[in-house]
Structure 1
Amino acid sequence: MNKIFTICALMVFSAVFSQIPTLDVENLKKHPVILQEAKIETRILGNLATTTAIYTFYNPDNRILEGKLTIPLPEGVSISGYALDINGKLRDAVPVPKERAKEVFESLEKRNIDPGIIEKVEGNNFRTRIYPIPAKGSRTIKITYHQELKNSASDYQYLLTFANETVSIPKFNLKVLINESLIAPKITENPDGSFAFQKQGNQWVAEINKANFTPNENLKIAIPKASQASNILLQKTSGDKFYFAASVSTDFPAKEKSKSQKIAIIWDNSFSGSKRNHQKELDFLNAYFLSNKDISVSFVLLNNVLEKTEEFTVSGGNWSALKNRIAGLKYDGGTDFGALKEISDVEEYLLFSDGISNFGDLTLKFKKPVNSIASTPTSDFNLLKLLAAQSGGNFINLNELDTQSALKTYNKQPVIFLGFKETAAIQDLFPNVGTAVNEPVNIFGISSPNLGKLTAVFSVGNKKYEVPVDFNTALQVDNWPIAQFWAQRKINDLELNSTQNRDEIRNLSEQFGVVSKNTSLIVLDDVNDYVRYGITPPQELLAEYNKIVSRNKKEILEKRKNLLSKSFDITRELVTWWNAEYKPVEKKQYPKISNQSLAESANKDQVQDNVGYSSAAEMSGSKKSNGKITLVEVESKEEYMKDFQNLQSSELIYQKYFENRSKYEKQVTYYFDISKLLFKKGDKALSLKVLSTLAELDLENEELYKTIYYLLKQRGNYEKELWITQKILEWRPFDSQSHRDYALALIDNKKPQEALDVYKSMLYQEYTDEISVRDSGIEEILIMEINNILTQNKNVDASKIDDRLKANLPIDIRVVINWNKDNTDIDLWVTDPLGEDCSYSHKSTEIGGRLSNDFTQGFGPEQFLLKKAIKGKYKIKTNFFGERQNILSGPTTVMAEVYLYYSDGRQERKIAVFQSQKENKRENDSKILIGEFEF
C-alpha cells in the first residue's frame, strides 16, 4: 500500500501572565522561531481593564511548524477574544463547544488548512494551537482578556510583567489608555524611561514604539480611586435593562477567627509542586508561626498518593524542624486529590498546592476548614477556592498578596456578601449571595433602569454592615464590555461545579465569546468550512455564509458516518473467514531477522518476568492449553540508561533518576524507561510515582495519558487505567479509539455490561468524514471484542446488540497493536511456522492468518487473527513506518495485546508496551521483535 504522511515539528512556547511569550523549540537551536513583533494595548476604566496583545512569530526554518502557546491567567480572568491572520488579515474567532473545536481543528489540519483555536485546559490555563506556521514565513495572533484590577487603600494596581526578559523584540509597541481619571496615574515600575502619561481629552495615554527592544522592568501603574464609596458602570442590553459593574468599598472592622491548637499541613510535593514559589510559601509559614507560637502540626505529603503523616511540635514560634523537612523534599509524581483523607484530631488544614489533580478526582468534602494556598500562576484557582468555601476556610493567593496581607486574609473571618436590600429590580447578581468576597468588592448584575439609591449588605461573623450604592451616579459606557465582565464572573462561579453546570456554562460562553472549560474559540480559513462544520462565522463572512447555506447546503455540509452498516458487512465477512478451511501444503524457511531482533530473542529468558506484570492469565474451562506466549522486552537505547545498568536496588535507581532528572526533565522516554526499570526490580510504588509524573509534563495531553494507560493496563492497575481512559474520553469524545480504550478498561474492571453499552454507542455515534476515513476498518476489531464480551460473560444483557453483529468466533491467536499518536503509521507483522508473513501488503496467509485494515493516519488499532494454529513458532513484530515528531510527548508508544485461545474458554492475555527507537529505518530488517507464540 502506498503510504502518505506529513512530518511537521511541534513548536511549544509558553508565557506567564501578561509576559511576552518566548519560544522554546527543541532541535531548532540554529534557527529558533522568532517573536518578530509585539503590540500590546490596555484600556482601563475605574478598576476594569481590557488588554489586547498581538504577536507575530517568524519561522526561519525550512519546515512547517505547528504552534502551541499556553497562557496562565490570574484568578477570575478568561480569554474573551482571539484572532488569527488569514490571507494577511486578522480574522476573529467564534465560540464553539470545546470538543467540537478540537475535532474540527484536527480534521482541517489533516488537509493542511489554516485553522486556529484557543481553549481552556486544566487550572486557569489557556492554550492556542496554530497550524501551519509556514517555512520562512510568519503567523500573527491576537488575544484579548478582561481583568478586575487589584485594590489598595487609595488606588487600583495594574501590572504587566516583563520579568526576566532577555530576548530583544525587533518591533515593540506598548500603549495604555486610562479613562475618566481626574488625577494623573503614577508609574511605579517602568519598562522604559520614556514611558509616561499625557492627558488627551478625558483620557490619560502612554505609549512607546521601540525597535530591538528588551524591557528593563515590569510595567506597574497606580491609578487613584474616585472619592465616592461606589463607582458604577452601565452597559445597555438588547432590551430595556442594563449590565452593571459596581465597585463598592467595604472598610469594615476586621474580626479575627479563633486560633487553632492543632493543624494539618498538606504539602503537594508532586512534580509540578517544584514549580511553586516556595519562598513565598515559607515566608507565609514563618509569619504564621510567629503569630501561632505554640501549636501541633500534622504534616503529610500529597503526590500520586497521600503519604504517611508526620508529627511536629512548634514551641515559641520555632518551627525549624518542620522547615528543614520542607527544604529537603523531593518533588516527583502526579497529583491525585482522590487520595486525600481526613486527618484525625486537627482543627483546620493548610493546603499548599496548585490545585491541578491529574491522577484522580477530588471526592472528599472536608469537615474541618481547609485554607488553600496558591503560589503559582498556573494554579486551578477555582478548585482551591471551592475546597476553602465548602469547608469554611480561606483561599489565599500568594501570587497577588504579600506575606502580611496573606496572613491577614488567613486570620480574619471572611466578609460575606448578602446582596441588596432592594432585590426586585436586580437579577443575575455576582458574587452570589452568601459568598466570601475580597475588599473592596466588584458587584456585577443585570438591572432595570433608574434604580436610584440601593443598599448593599455584608456580614463579618455575626455582625452586618450596610453600604449605600447610588445608581444615580452611574456612568453609561456602551462601548465598554461590561456584559463580558459579567459573563466572565458568572462562568467563574458556575465552574466551581463545572460538571453540574456544564450546559449553562456552554450557553453563556457561546453567547458572550468567553473561553471556558466547555467552550473554545476557533478561526477557520474558508467560508465553506464554516458551512461544512455548521459553525456561524464572524460578521465579515456572515453574508457569504448565509448565501451558501441557502443555495447548496446539502452539498457542503460536513459528512458524518456511523460504523453500523459496515459492521454488519464485516461480521458476515468474519463468519465466512472463520468457516473456511485452510490446508497449507508447503514448509517454508523463516525470514531473516535483524541482529537487533536476534539479540532481543537471545535475551528472552532474562526478561521472562515480563509475564509478571502482564495482566493475569484469564483461564477457564477444562480444555488443555497447548500454546505458549513469550514476550520480548524491547530495551531502551537511550544514552542515560548506561547510568543505571550496574544499580541493583530500586532505591539506588530512584536516587540516580532524581539526580539526573534535570537533564531530561521534558524527555518522555526518561520517565517511561525508569518506571519500567523500577517495576522490573519489583518496586511498584516508586514505578507508579515515576510513571504518574508524565501527567505533569503537559496539560490535557492525550498522548501522554495513553502512554500512562498502556503501562497501567500491562501492570494490572485497572482502577487507575479506568480513570485515565475516562479523562481521554472527556477530551476526545469525537474519537472512536477513545471510546474503545474506555470500554476495554471497563472490561478489565469487570464491568462487561457497561463496556457493551460503550461499544454499542460507538457503532451508532456519527463521526466526521476525516475520522471515518482515518479509522476505516476499526469495525473488525470492535466486532471481535463485542462478541468476546458475549461469550465470556453469559449474564450480560445482549438484547440491545443487533443480532447481525453477533457471531461466535473462538480463535487460537489474536494480536492487537495500538499506539498513542495521531498521524502515525505502525505496521503489525506476524510470521507463521511456514515462514509466511502476514502484513499490510499480504493480509491473508495459507494457514488462515488474517490482518485487519492498515491504519496509516490515526491511533490504530491493527489486528491479526488465526482460527487454528499449526505446530511451531510464530513471531510477532512491529515496523515503525512513519510518525509525526511531537517533541513534548516523545516517541510513539505502542501497546500490543497478545491472546491465546481468544473467546474459547481458555483465554490468556499478555501485554507488551514499548516505544519507537530513535531511528525508524525503512528496511526489511528494521522490524522490532516483540514476542512469540509456540504451539
Structure 2
Amino acid sequence: MYKWLLLSAALLMVSQAPQVSAQSIVPRPILTVHTQAQESPVQLRTVQVNADLSGPFARTEIELTFYNPNRRVLEGELEFPLLEGQTVTGFALDFEGQWREAVAVEKQRAQQVFEDVTRQNVDPALLQVTKGNNYKVRVYPLPAQGIRKVKLVVSERLTSLNGESIYRLPLAYTELSRLRVNLVANAPDAELRVPEDLEDVELKPRGQDAQKLQLDRVNFTGSGMLEVVMPPLDGMQSFTQNLNGHRYFMTVVPKPQVEAQRQKPSRVELLWDSSLSGRKRDHDREFDLLEGYFRTFPDITVRLVRFRNVAEGAETFEVKGGNWSALRKALENTVYDGGTNFEALNCLQDCPAVSERLIFTDGLDNMTSAMIQTSDVPTYTLSSAQSSDPVRLHHLAGSSGKGINLTRLSSEQALQELLTGKQVLENLTTRGAKEVVVHEDADAWVVAGQFTENTAVLQFQVNGTSQTLRVNAGETRSPQVAKLWASWKVENLRGEERFNEAAIRRLGKQFNLVTPQTSLIVLDSVRDYVRYEVEPPAELLAEYQMLHKEQNNTTILQKQNHQNQVLALLQDYENWWLKDFPKGKPQAPEAPKKTGGPVNPSPSAYFDAVNDTSALEEAGVAVDMAPTANALAAPVVRPNASEPAEVAANAPSGGTPNSGNQISIQLKKWTADAPYIRRMQEAKPEDLYRIYLDERPSYENSTAFYLDVADQLFDHKLDDLALRVLSNLSELELENRSILRIQAYRYLQAGYPELAIPLLEDVVKLAPYEPQSFRDLGLAHAQANNPQKAIENLYQVVERTWDARFSEVELIALNELNAILHSSDQKLDTSFMDSRLKKDLPVDLRVVLTWDADNTDMDLWITDPNGERVFYGHRLSYQGGRISRDMTGGYGPEEFTLKSAKPGKYIIQADYYGNRQQVIAGAVTLQAKLITHFGTKEQKEQLITLRLKDQKENVFVGEFEVK
C-alpha cells in the first residue's frame, strides 16, 4: 500500500489580498504523487466550493474528491498552507454519503490514535497543523480504484484595505473532472472580478439584499483568481454570538485616515533568511520593495547578515544617492542552503547599534524551539512566501515594528506599509467584558472578548485621543464571532507558546479548532472512540456514553503488571549474566534420521541447559529462545573474507567480562551507489560544495542525497559545510519525525550531540507515545555528557506502558541507564527510580540496531567465531551471546549482548525482512551502534548509518575482533 502526497495551491481557497494581480502572487498548483513505477498518480477528481459572504465575514466549505486508480489501498496525505487571517473551523470525512464531523483531541494523542487505527485497517481521518500556516490532512483508506471525500471549513474576517474588502478564491487547478462553486454574497452592491477564461460568470440577484454566483465546469483547467469585492464597513460596527452558555462580541475599530510619521533611519540591519526554503520566496517582490525603500532613504548604511543553520559574518554596504547595486548583487548571489535556526537571530542583542531592522524570512524555524528575543529597535518582518508563520513574524516585529505580508499586498501597498509609522491602540480598559484580545490589520483594529454583563464598555486611546465604545449583547448576530475570537486568542498565546501550551490546548478542545496543541480527528466506529477515550460528535454521543460506562478502568492494574514484567525481564537478564557459558567449539547436532516427512535436524542438548526463562514465564511474559535448525550452519556474508578461523576449545569462560581482552571494532564504510557519488569522489575537496549545488536540483527532496553529500564533506574534514548540508533535512517536510530522527542520528555519529538534542526534543513532542523518542533523547544527552538528563529520559522508557509492538524495549533502555549510572563520574540523583532496577551488569560486546521506518521489520544478525549465528529465530548462542526479542513493528531497537567474549571475529549484519507500511516506502535508514566493555569506564563505541532499499536485502555492518 502506498502514500500520495499533494502539495496544492488549490486549497488556498480564501485570502484577503486586495488589489493585487492574482498571477503575481498565486503559485502554480503542484500535484505530486509519490508512486512506484508501475503505479498511477492519485487524481483530484472534483472540487466543490460553497461560500457565504456576510458583512466582514466569509465561510467557505471545500469538498475534495480523490480517486485512486490503482489496485491497492493507499493512505492519503494532503499538505497545504492557508493565508494569514484564515482559520480552519471544520473538518469532516464522508461515510457512505454522510459527513461525520471531526472532534478536537490533543495533537500527539490524535496522531497516536490515527496510526493505531490504521494498523487495524479501519477508517480514520486526521487534520493537524505542522508549523505556521501549514496544515496536513491524513486519510485512510483510499480504496483500490475507488474514491474518498473530505470536507474542510475555512473561516475568516475579510480585512479592509484602501476602502475595499475582498474575498478571493484561487482557481489554479491543473485539471479537474469537475469544478463547482456556489457563492452567496449578502450585499446587493458586491462586485465580481474573474479571469479572462471565466468572463461569462456573473453575480446575479438573490432577493433584494444578496447576490449569488454559480459556476459548474467539467474537465476544468484554470488559472488566476475569482474575487468578490464587498462593501467596506461604515465606521465602528459590532457583532455578537451566544455559544454554549457564553456571550461573545467583536467590534471593528477603523484606523484614522492619517499618515503616521516614522523616523528616517541612518543605519539599518538587513537580516536575510538564506536557508533552503528561502528559494521559494518571491525575491523579485522583495527587491522591488528594497528599491522603493532606498529611493526614500537614499543615503544609508546597511549591515547585511545572512542566516540559515548559523548566522554568517556581517557585510557592510554604503548606499549613496539611492544606489544599492552592490548590495543587490550580493543578495542575488545568495546561496540558499541549510535549515532555519532562529536562535542565530538572538545574537542581535550584542550587535552594533542600528536605527531599525528588516528581516526577510518565512518565519518557519525548523531546527530549534528557541524563543525569538524581541528588540527595542524598530523591527520589520517581511514575508513573500506562501508557506509561512505570520503569528511568529508579528511577534518578532513587536510593538514598535510591523509584520508585512508581501503575498497579500501589491508592491505599492507594501512599500506604503514599510514607510509609514505604526498607529497604536493604547491603554485599553474594559468594563462588562473579559478575555479581551485585539486583532490588527492594515485598516482597522478588531476588539473581541466575552461579555460579563449585558453591555461592555471599552475605553482606549488612538494617536493620543481617548475614545469610549459601548457594545450591547443584542448587537448584530454572527455565527463566526466565537471561533474567530478563540483563534485570535490562540495567536496571542503563541507569542510565548512554550508557556501557554495548556491554555492553547484548552481553547482548541473547547472550540474544536486546529491549533499547535490540538488536531481534528474522525474515527470509524463508536467503539473506536470509546477505546481511545475520544468524545465523539453529537450524533454518536449517547451510544458512546453507554459503552464508556461498560468499559472497566484497568489503568492501575496495567501499571502494576507492567512494573512486574520489567522486574521479571531484568531478573531473566541477570540470570543470563550470572551463568557461565562454555567457550569451546560446540558439537554439531546429530544428523536426523530420514523419514517420510520433512527433514528437520534437532538442536543440541546444550540449549536446554542455558535457556532459563522461568522468571519471565512466571510474570506472564512470552519467551522464545529456542534455536532453529540453521543457527549453527547459517551462511556468513562478509566482504572479501573467508569463514572465521576455529578457536581453541580451552578459550576462557567465567562469570565476569574479560575486561583484559583487547577488542577492536571494524566498520564497513557504507557508500551509496548514486551517480553523484562517483563525481564527488573524483573531485578536489575545494570543489565538493559546488558539485553539490550543481546536483541538488535533481535530488532536492531526497533525504538520501543530503546524507550522502554530508558524508563526503565530513570525510574531507569540511565539517561546517557538512553540517549546513545536513541541516537541509529539517526543511524537507515539517514535523516528519522519521526525518528528524535520521538527522539527529547523523549529528550524533559526527560527534555533534548538541545539534541532535533540539531535534530529538521535537520528536518527543511529536511522538511521546513511542518509547524510541525518549530513548534517543536520553542517549543524546549521555553523549553530550548530561548523564542526569540521560537517565531521566531513559527511565521514561522503563516506567511507562507502551504498545505491545514495542515489547522488551524497557530492558534495553534499562541496560543503558544502568551503564550510565555505573560508569559516570558525576553524582546522579536516582530518587525517582525503583531501587530494585539498579544493577551493575557490564558486558564485553554490545550491538544495537535502530531504524527510521514505522511498521518495518529489520533483523540483527551476529555470527560468532564458532560460525554460530544469533538472530530472531535463535536468540542464545552456545557461548552465551544473547539477542533481544524481534521488533517487527518499527524503529527497533534490537540488542545483542555478550558478557564474556571468546577470542575471534564477530560479524554483524542487518537484514531487511519486510514492512507493513501503508505508504510508499523509500530507502530505510539504519543506525548501528557497536560497543565494547559496555557499562564500564573503558566503554568505547562507534556508530554508523546505512540504508536498505529493498526487502530481503542484507548488508554487512561491521565486526568485533577479540584478541
Calculate the TM-score normalised by the size of structure 2: 0.88
Rounded Cα–Cα distance in structure 2 between residues aligned with 1:503 and 1:909: 41
Matches within 5 A, 1:698-717: 698-717=733-752
Show the counterpart of 2:333.
Answer: 328
Structure 1 residue 667, shift from structure 2 partner: 1.4
2:639 to 585, 598, 610: 598
Structure 1 residue 26, shift from structure 2 partner: 2.3
Show the counterpart of 1:16.
Answer: 9
Structure 1 residue 455, shift from structure 2 partner: 6.2
In structure 2, what residue type is equivalent to 1:10?
K
Show the counterpart of 1:409.
Answer: 417
SS of 1:870 mapped into structure 2: coil
SS of 1:304 mapped into structure 2: coil
Show the counterpart of 2:865.
Answer: 833
SS of 2:855 mapped into structure 1: coil
Give per-residue Cα distances to partners, 1:101-158, cap 9 Å, x unaligned: 0111111111111111101111111111111111111111000111121313333111
Rounded Cα–Cα distance in structure 1 between residues aligned with 2:917 and 2:203: 48
SS of 1:266 mapped into structure 2: strand
Rounded Cα–Cα distance in structure 2 between residues aligned with 1:56 and 1:555: 41
Show the counterpart of 1:5.
Answer: none
Q: Does 1:874 align with 2:906?
A: yes
8 Å Cα contact 1:234/1:245 also seen in 2: yes
In structure 2, what residue type is equivalent to 1:11?
W
Show the counterpart of 1:919.
Answer: 950
Q: Does 1:643 align with 2:671?
A: no
Rounded Cα–Cα distance in structure 2 between residues aligned with 1:599 and 1:321: 58
Q: How many pairs are equivalent? A: 884
Show the counterpart of 1:283.
Answer: 288
Q: Does 1:451 align with 2:444?
A: no
1:757 to 792, 814, 836: 792
In structure 1, what residue type is equivalent to 2:821?
L
SS of 2:822 mapped into structure 1: helix
Matches within 5 A, 1:197-236: 197-201=203-207, 202-226=209-233, 228-236=234-242
Structure 1 residue 469, shift from structure 2 partner: 6.4
Rounded Cα–Cα distance in structure 2 between residues aligned with 1:178 and 1:458: 34
Q: Does 1:929 align with 2:957?
A: yes
Using a 3 Å threshold, how does the CA distance of structure 1 residues 237 and 61 change in structure 2: closer, same or farther?
Answer: closer
Q: Does 1:371 align with 2:350?
A: no
Q: Does 1:86 align with 2:95?
A: yes
SS of 2:498 mapped into structure 1: coil
Rounded Cα–Cα distance in structure 1 between residues aligned with 2:641 and 2:543: 62
SS of 1:24 mapped into structure 2: coil
Give per-residue Cα distances to partners, 1:15-51, cap 9 Å, x unaligned: 2374477531123576211111111111111111111
Q: Does 1:627 align with 2:635?
A: no
8 Å Cα contact 1:634/1:930 also seen in 2: no
Show the counterpart of 2:21.
Answer: none
Show the counterpart of 1:185.
Answer: 191
8 Å Cα contact 1:912/1:930 also seen in 2: no
In structure 2, what residue type is equivalent to 1:334?
G
Q: Percent same amino acid at aligned positions? A: 31
* Between 892-901 and 185-194, the greater mean CA deviation after superposition: 185-194
Matches within 5 A, 1:746-895: 746-767=781-802, 771=803, 773-793=804-824, 795-883=827-915, 890-895=922-927
Structure 1 residue 705, shift from structure 2 partner: 0.6
Show the counterpart of 2:530.
Answer: 531
Rounded Cα–Cα distance in structure 2 between residues aligned with 1:685 and 1:713: 15
Show the counterpart of 1:734.
Answer: 769
Matches within 5 A, 1:4-403: 8-16=1-9, 18-19=11-12, 23-27=31-35, 31-163=40-172, 165-167=173-175, 169-179=176-186, 181-187=187-193, 189=195, 192-201=198-207, 202-226=209-233, 228-239=234-245, 242-340=247-345, 341-342=347-348, 343-363=351-371, 364-389=373-398, 392-403=400-411
* Between 828-837 and 22-31, the greater mean CA deviation after superposition: 22-31
SS of 2:574 mapped into structure 1: helix
1:743 to 764, 778, 794: 778
8 Å Cα contact 1:816/1:861 also seen in 2: yes
Using a 3 Å threshold, how does the CA distance of structure 1 residues 31 and 52 change in structure 2: closer, same or farther?
Answer: same
Rounded Cα–Cα distance in structure 2 between residues aligned with 1:879 and 1:183: 70
SS of 1:316 mapped into structure 2: coil
Rounded Cα–Cα distance in structure 2 between residues aligned with 1:600 and 1:78: 62
SS of 1:135 mapped into structure 2: coil
What are the ranges of 5 or more consecutive residues in structure 2 without an aligned counterpart? 14-28, 589-631, 644-656
What are the ranges of 5 or more consecutive residues in structure 1 without an aligned counterpart? 1-7, 603-620
8 Å Cα contact 1:232/1:473 also seen in 2: no
Structure 1 residue 99, shift from structure 2 partner: 0.5
8 Å Cα contact 1:571/1:806 also seen in 2: no
8 Å Cα contact 1:625/1:906 also seen in 2: no
8 Å Cα contact 2:267/2:302 also seen in 1: yes
In structure 2, what residue type is equivalent to 1:598?
P
Rounded Cα–Cα distance in structure 2 between residues aligned with 1:378 and 1:560: 43
Structure 1 residue 813, shift from structure 2 partner: 0.1
Show the counterpart of 2:718.
Answer: 683
8 Å Cα contact 2:51/2:60 also seen in 1: yes
Rounded Cα–Cα distance in structure 2 between residues aligned with 1:544 and 1:857: 33
Using a 3 Å threshold, how does the CA distance of structure 1 residues 558 and 19 change in structure 2: closer, same or farther?
Answer: farther
SS of 1:431 mapped into structure 2: strand
Matches within 5 A, 1:566-605: 566-586=565-585, 592-594=635-637, 597-598=638-639
Give per-residue Cα distances to partners, 1:795-825, cap 9 Å, x unaligned: 2123432232122111100000111121111
In structure 1, what residue type is equivalent to 2:807?
S
Give per-residue Cα distances to partners, 1:451-500, cap 9 Å, x unaligned: 39x6663434xx336476675993224xx232111111111111122211
8 Å Cα contact 2:161/2:442 also seen in 1: no
Structure 1 residue 885, shift from structure 2 partner: 6.5
Give per-residue Cα distances to partners, 1:713-763, cap 9 Å, x unaligned: 111101111111111111111111101111111111212122222233333
Rounded Cα–Cα distance in structure 1 between residues aligned with 2:801 and 2:378: 47
Rounded Cα–Cα distance in structure 2 between residues aligned with 1:176 and 1:670: 46
In structure 2, what residue type is equivalent to 1:12?
L
Rounded Cα–Cα distance in structure 2 between residues aligned with 1:301 and 1:269: 6
Give per-residue Cα distances to partners, 1:44-100, cap 9 Å, x unaligned: 111111111000100001222111111211223221110112344221100100010
8 Å Cα contact 1:563/1:779 also seen in 2: no
Using a 3 Å threshold, how does the CA distance of structure 1 residues 623 and 565 change in structure 2: closer, same or farther?
Answer: closer
Structure 1 residue 162, shift from structure 2 partner: 2.2
Rounded Cα–Cα distance in structure 2 between residues aligned with 1:405 and 1:888: 45
Rounded Cα–Cα distance in structure 1 between residues aligned with 2:557 and 2:677: 49
Using a 3 Å threshold, how does the CA distance of structure 1 residues 194 and 553 change in structure 2: closer, same or farther?
Answer: farther
SS of 1:91 mapped into structure 2: strand
Calculate the TM-score normalised by the size of structure 1: 0.90
In structure 1, what residue type is equivalent to 2:398?
A
CA-based RMSD? 2.6
Structure 1 residue 234, shift from structure 2 partner: 1.8
Show the counterpart of 1:486.
Answer: 485
Q: Does 1:440 align with 2:444?
A: yes
8 Å Cα contact 1:191/1:219 also seen in 2: no
Q: Does 1:464 align with 2:472?
A: no
8 Å Cα contact 2:190/2:229 also seen in 1: no
Structure 1 residue 787, shift from structure 2 partner: 1.1
SS of 1:729 mapped into structure 2: helix
